[in-house]
């Protein structure tokens, strides 16, 4: 957060200036300069300062209004009833033991209870959508005007653009609607539509959107409605403008009004519910938080509203927000921090990935100290430098990444970053082939970083499946000189494992676990040696996947094994012959041919065969056979009747190729419980969807 020092008046002036600048960039320029979390902190600091020093509160303070004035280019619309923002509540994940991390929500509910003189009032609860708030005006059932929130009192007339959003009814359905109806809601861009749009832009050489929220806001503020019409926008209604006359209200409570809106043709959020009291609100917050990554749209929290309209009127408003509603926000997925260093991380194929070492910052409830920069081109595009203030994003289980630099905060004398010429681990040259995004360390298994990752991959469950050989054991075996290549695994003895663990315990200064009751415990080592021995009996596809050939995943390894039938035939294949294999293009063929042409790789394969690794060979199978031959299937979500691996194996046995991502070439998607973004993308692309029951019926009909 920006630090403000000096007298209280100076602090207030500095805060107002920072907030006004952020509002201008967000509402007028459509170019946010700071993340929402930092904006919230600035606003809270100003509110607290003005509360302590009321004489400092000015009529034009950001605490007295919602946002900035509308931009030039659109006509102004005066809102008959202001579109106020909501006060925010946050959960404090770092609250000291014995204190309530959710006290802000409980305080809100307590204020409502005291104001109404009731216990456990009923709340309408719904996700807080990550889009653009709008107001829609209907006269005699016909859509006549749509406006943005703007500064809360005056917005922008975007009627022509809103007419292009198919989710917004141009004429109301049913009957019973009032002569004049004002509906409020959110225009947003669904996740699947955002991904599909960006994929199309990249394919066509256009500029992709930064994120769904900016995409929605920017789409509505286009001067050409045809541009808006080309964007994948959606809409949910979340409220009605309550007229001053209670007799003119369409329902006696919010939830009933939403039912009426649905009947008149407005989409409303299917995740909306009714709950009672603070516990009901917090339970809903936890539930939606757990479902957040699987929702088809982005959210940044939940909203709690007193359901009854008479109670809303009784509670009333404060200067800039209703007393009867509050937004409970999730921990921010974007935060500002400082790049303290840029290091290089070496992967199992030698890929040299730049990683930003950051001043620790809380992002989405997790302390983030590192963020990927992907590759040298990305660093150059963002112009990230050591010392820069940057925005870091972490969503769901995605690895934290730097998404942009804050150039106005760049310290003087910073220098553009360059990829080092040599590997920081082994000193070998780092080279980048023409046409490749990644630069690579040329050290191969000489490089300890590549060796560690290569052996970890080799032993993994879907590769050679060496049960119990975890990453820590692999690191210690390498450190103490027991492992230099995958073939060394097959020379390890029980004594080697026991000695390795004892040395690791001495290094870490812990009491040896290898000795119990005066005896050396070796059962764990016996099990590891047995697991390594068992892995010698492999299949060709597992072995190919275990080798870690660049660009060759599990599905491609299986295709190569079926196509060539033997490892020797594959190793002899030319690039032209490799491109005849399904889904192997020129780049992948070049990687495969180069891998087998490399002397040290051929020596590593020979050493593994000499150590006893073997598999049954088969006749080449140029075309898959079975009822699903030539079809590509994607599995998503949880299946109740069989595991994902079992379903994959049975589908492949029927000739299908089971892929990990959805594309236009996907034949169908099997969607289980809690299916996520793959299902959304399939729906956006018009790919056929199979429920689990249909899959089971199909498998049963083709058993035997």
Cα 255 to Cα 242: distance, rounded to the nearest angstrom: 14
Answer for the pair 464, 557: CB distance below 8 angstroms, yes or no: no
Q: Read off the tokens for 159.
A: 């009627």
**Predicted local distance difference test score (pLDDT) of residue 513:** 60
Answer for the pair 284, 273: CB distance below 8 angstroms, yes or no: yes
Q: Report the CATH number of the 444-534 domain.
A: 1.10.150.20
Answer for the pair 284, 292: CB distance below 8 angstroms, yes or no: no
How far does Cα 479 stand from its chain's mean position?
35
Highest CATH level, class, for 632-701? alpha beta
Check residue 533 and give left, alpha or beta (phi > 0: left; psi -120 to 50: alpha). alpha
Answer for the pair 475, 544: CB distance below 8 angstroms, yes or no: no
Active-site amino acid positions: 128
Cα 506 to Cα 519: distance, rounded to the nearest angstrom: 18
Domain ranges of the chain: 8-64, 88-329, 334-441, 444-534, 540-610, 632-701
Q: Report the CATH number of the 8-64 domain.
A: 1.10.287.610
Domain 334-441 matches domain 540-610 at the CATH topology level: no
Whole-number Cα distances in Å, 247 to 116, 242, 251, 252: 21, 10, 9, 10
Answer for the pair 240, 181: CB distance below 8 angstroms, yes or no: yes
Cα 702 to Cα 450: distance, rounded to the nearest angstrom: 44
pLDDT means per 10 residues, the chain with 704 residues, are 62 84 59 76 86 78 51 78 86 71 93 94 95 93 92 87 90 88 95 89 80 87 85 94 63 94 91 96 94 89 95 84 92 88 90 94 83 92 95 75 91 94 91 84 81 91 91 91 93 94 86 58 90 95 92 87 92 91 83 88 92 86 72 84 83 83 85 74 83 86 75
Helices (H) and strands (E) in the chain — how many of each? 24, 24
Cβ-based burial of 480 (10 A; exposed 0-12, middle 13-18, buried ≥19): middle
The dihedral through the CA atoms of 365, 371, 374, 377 has a sign that is: positive
Highest CATH level, class, for 540-610? mainly alpha
Answer for the pair 113, 281: CB distance below 8 angstroms, yes or no: no
> What does 649-671 look like in DSSP terms, one character per residue?
HHHHHTT-EEESS--TT--EEEE
CATH superfamily of 88-329: DNA ligase/mRNA capping enzyme (3.30.470.30)
**Predicted local distance difference test score (pLDDT) of residue 586:** 85
Q: Report the CATH number of the 334-441 domain.
A: 2.40.50.140
Answer for the pair 552, 588: CB distance below 8 angstroms, yes or no: yes
């Amino acid at each position: 957060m920006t630090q403000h020092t000096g007298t209280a008046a100076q602090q207030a002036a500095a805060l107002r200036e920072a907030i006004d600048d952020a509002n201008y960039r967000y509402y007028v320029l459509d170019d946010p300069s700071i993340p929402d979390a930092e904006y919230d902190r600035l606003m809270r600091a100003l509110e607290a300062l003005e509360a302590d020093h009321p004489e400092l509160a000015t009529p034009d303070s950001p605490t007295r209004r919602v946002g900035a004035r509308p931009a030039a280019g659109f006509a102004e619309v005066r809102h008959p009833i202001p579109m106020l923002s909501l006060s925010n509540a946050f959960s404090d994940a770092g609250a000291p033991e014995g204190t309530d991390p959710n006290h802000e929500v409980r305080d809100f509910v307590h204020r409502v209870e005291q104001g109404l003189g009731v216990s456990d009032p009923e709340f309408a609860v719904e996700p807080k959508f990550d889009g653009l708030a709008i107001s829609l005006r209907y006269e005699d059932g016909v859509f006549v005007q749509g406006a943005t929130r703007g500064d809360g009192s005056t917005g922008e007339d975007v009627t022509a653009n809103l007419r292009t959003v198919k989710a917004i009814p141009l004429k109301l359905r049913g009957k019973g609607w009032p002569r004049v109806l004002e509906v409020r809601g959110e225009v947003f861009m669904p996740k699947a539509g955002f991904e599909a749009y960006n994929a199309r832009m990249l394919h066509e050489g256009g500029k992709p959107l930064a994120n769904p929220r900016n995409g929605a806001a920017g789409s509505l503020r286009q001067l050409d409605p045809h541009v808006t019409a080309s964007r994948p926008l959606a809409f949910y209604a979340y409220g009605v403008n309550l007229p001053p006359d209670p007799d003119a209200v369409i329902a006696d409570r919010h939830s009933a009004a939403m039912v009426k809106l649905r009947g008149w043709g407005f989409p409303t959020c299917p995740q909306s519910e009714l709950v009672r009291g603070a516990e009901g609100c917090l339970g809903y917050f936890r539930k939606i938080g757990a479902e957040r990554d699987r929702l088809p749209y982005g959210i940044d929290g939940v909203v709690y509203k007193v359901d009854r309209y008479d109670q809303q009127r009784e509670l009333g408003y404060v200067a800039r927000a209703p007393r009867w509603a509050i937004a409970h926000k999730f921990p921010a997925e974007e935060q500002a921090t400082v790049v303290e260093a840029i290091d290089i991380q070496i992967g199992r194929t030698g890929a040299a990935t730049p990683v930003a070492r950051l001043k620790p910052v809380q992002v989405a409830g997790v302390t983030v100290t590192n963020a990927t920069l992907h590759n040298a081109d990305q660093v150059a595009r963002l112009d990230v430098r050591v010392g820069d203030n940057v925005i870091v994003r972490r969503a769901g289980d995605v690895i934290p990444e730097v998404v942009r630099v804050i150039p106005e905060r760049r310290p003087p004398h910073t220098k553009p970053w360059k990829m080092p010429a040599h590997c920081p681990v082994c000193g070998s040259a780092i080279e980048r082939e023409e046409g490749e995004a990644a630069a690579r360390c040329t050290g191969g298994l000489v490089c300890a970083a590549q060796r560690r990752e290569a052996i970890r991959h080799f032993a993994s469950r879907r590769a050679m499946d060496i049960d119990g050989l975890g990453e820590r054991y692999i690191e210690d075996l390498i450190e103490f000189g027991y492992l230099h290549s995958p073939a060394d695994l097959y020379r390890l003895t029980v004594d080697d494992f026991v000695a390795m663990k004892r040395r690791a315990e001495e290094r870490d200064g812990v009491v040896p676990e290898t000795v119990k009751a005066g005896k050396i415990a070796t059962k764990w080592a016996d099990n590891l040696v047995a697991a390594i021995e068992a892995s010698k009996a492999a299949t060709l596809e597992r072995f190919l996947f275990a080798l870690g050939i660049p660009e060759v995943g599990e599905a491609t390894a299986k295709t190569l094994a079926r196509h060539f039938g033997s490892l020797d035939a594959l190793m002899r294949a030319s690039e032209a012959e490799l491109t005849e294999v399904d889904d192997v293009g020129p780049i992948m063929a070049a990687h495969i041919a180069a891998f087998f042409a490399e002397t040290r790789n051929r020596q590593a394969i020979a050493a593994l065969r000499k150590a006893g690794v073997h598999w049954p060979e088969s006749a080449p199978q140029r075309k898959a056979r079975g009822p699903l031959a030539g079809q590509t299937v994607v599995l998503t979500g949880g299946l109740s009747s069989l595991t994902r691996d079992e379903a994959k194996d049975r589908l492949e046995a029927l000739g299908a190729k089971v892929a990990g991502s959805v594309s236009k070439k996907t034949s169908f998607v099997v969607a289980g419980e809690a299916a996520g973004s793959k299902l959304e993308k399939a729906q956006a692309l018009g790919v056929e969807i199979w429920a689990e029951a249909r899959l089971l019926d199909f498998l049963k009909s083709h058993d035997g």
